[in-house]
Structure 1
């Protein structure tokens, strides 16, 4: 059974969903919304209370000010309010991509709410040596998007991420009409979520000294991609060994059964 509701937070009305019963497990992405986690959440809900949400400004989580950036700090505060609201914590949190940055910001600022944070492929560009070039290229990509060249911006995105995809697949996946909501989400991601996420610098000293168990996840198929490099840099900074998960950057969605089995192993190890 899935319960769907909303929570009013400063400057936003958050859509969230709760499944199952047991220890609290939060699954969060950015810009991915709750729909991306549905198959995985259903599998884990047999023995967990699983909380998923649309991040502020995306899909069903409307913001009062659409011109305000959705920073990792704001998204972490949203997660903190959700965990307190469902009143089933402290939680284990799996964050993927930008959601991994949100989860790290949660661990850094709200020490009592997460006993485990699994940061799966956070795009922390500031942690790698070529950070200045990456941030410059990101600014150029956003500028391309603002000219109306959606497909060109997505090609730049994939190039920065070092994700190889045949051009015909790129056109098929990103070149079509995403519809009004998809277009609004895409615009919010490019203009108000992406840059605050990749520019965020974790406080490694604070994270190392926190009681929260920190796991850095990397997809088995992510070799050579930017998020493998940023994740390895994070793991080195935290003094932990990276943990491999099935699939690539969105392995949780591509093969939720295998990903979920590995996630259970990682949670048991804690």
Structure 2
């Protein structure tokens, strides 16, 4: 059994990171680090509960949740997140650790392994939105840029409506995405009024840098780390699922299908429920294979 999570902070260049340790006094397995982006540590509460026989660490990426940026920067890059993870693992004893990484966290986990493979025994990268490796790369990158432009011009609600539309679309991104009718934010439960803020952790800090990141597949293929790419059983055809398949292909591997959707490990955190029980079973099988 793990202890109650204990919160800590770590000073890194340009930020103060907050992280939580659920320690198992009896486990001999590698520490399991669960990471997301732009999701913070709270999103892993349900999944962590299924690994009480291991020490589990979660954290808030820079500029998100409890982790404060001190550098005044507007955007966070996968290289920065990867360096933060490198310093966090060092603070935890140096590793090697196992990592379950979701969405933008999977992009950051791959950036970490490309530079510090000795710190990671296994990386399970679940649906990284790696738009650069998609067959419809130009359309995908253009659609993401249009979402960012919508955010800069119109604010959170219209941008989130477009984000939901593109992330849930099944199949190639249309070349005329920017010209298609914009979904009504109110119909999706989003605000319609622009409050004037432009500091959202997704749209301002991480959207462009995450999706446009160029992965170092040569370094990843050469790494001693075992890299497993995960995709959702219910998200086939969606951009992040297709990107996961493409990343696995570039690594010379086959993706592993996990139960549920892009957030399949969620137990209702943020009002978005997956199937965390079944998801945890598959994750354990992958980690112990």
TM over 0.5: yes
Cα distance in 1, alignment partners of residues 131 and 107 from structure 2: 11
Cα distance in 2, alignment partners of residues 117 and 95 from structure 1: 7
CA shift in 2, pair 1:176/1:43, >3 Å? farther
- Report deviation, 1:99: 0.2
- Runs of 4 or more, structure 1, over 3 Å off, are 167-177
Aligned match for 1:126, one of 110, 117, 132: 132
* Counterpart check, 1:206 vs 2:226: no
- Report deviation, 1:246: 0.9
Query: Could you say which structure has the larger radius of gyration?
Result: 2
Q: Which moved more, 1:86-95 or 1:246-255?
A: 86-95
Unaligned runs of 5+ in 2: 171-182, 267-273
> What is the RMSD computed on CA atoms of the aligned residues?
2.1
- Report deviation, 1:51: 0.7
- Report deviation, 1:204: 1.1
Do the aligned residues in 2 keep the contact of 1:19 with 1:42 (CA within 8 Å)? no
Q: Which residue of 2 aligns with 1:223?
A: 236
Cα distance in 1, alignment partners of residues 243 and 77 from structure 2: 18
Q: Which residue of 2 aligns with 1:8?
A: 11
CA shift in 2, pair 1:24/1:88, >3 Å? farther
Do the aligned residues in 1 keep the contact of 2:265 with 2:279 (CA within 8 Å)? yes
CA distances 1:69-124 after superposition (whole Å, capped 9, x unpaired): 21111101111111111227211101100000011011100011101001100000
* Counterpart check, 1:162 vs 2:165: no
Cα distance in 1, alignment partners of residues 156 and 203 from structure 2: 10
**TM-score, length basis structure 2:** 0.85
Aligned match for 2:250, one of 237, 240, 256: 237
CA shift in 2, pair 1:104/1:170, >3 Å? farther
CA shift in 2, pair 1:170/1:53, >3 Å? farther
Q: Which residue of 1 aligns with 2:286?
A: 266
Cα distance in 2, alignment partners of residues 117 and 237 from structure 1: 16
- Report deviation, 1:168: 8.6
**TM-score, length basis structure 1:** 0.90
CA shift in 2, pair 1:141/1:15, >3 Å? same
Q: Which residue of 2 aligns with 1:51?
A: 57
Do the aligned residues in 2 keep the contact of 1:151 with 1:171 (CA within 8 Å)? no
Do the aligned residues in 2 keep the contact of 1:246 with 1:259 (CA within 8 Å)? yes
CA distances 1:149-170 after superposition (whole Å, capped 9, x unpaired): 4222112112222348xx7997
Do the aligned residues in 1 keep the contact of 2:186 with 2:192 (CA within 8 Å)? no
Unaligned runs of 5+ in 1: none
Cα distance in 2, alignment partners of residues 171 and 88 from structure 1: 47
Q: Which residue of 1 aligns with 2:191?
A: 175
Do the aligned residues in 2 keep the contact of 1:57 with 1:66 (CA within 8 Å)? no
- Aligned length in residues: 261
- Report deviation, 1:205: 1.4
Do the aligned residues in 1 keep the contact of 2:63 with 2:69 (CA within 8 Å)? yes
- What secondary structure does 1:205 align onto? helix
- Report deviation, 1:43: 2.0
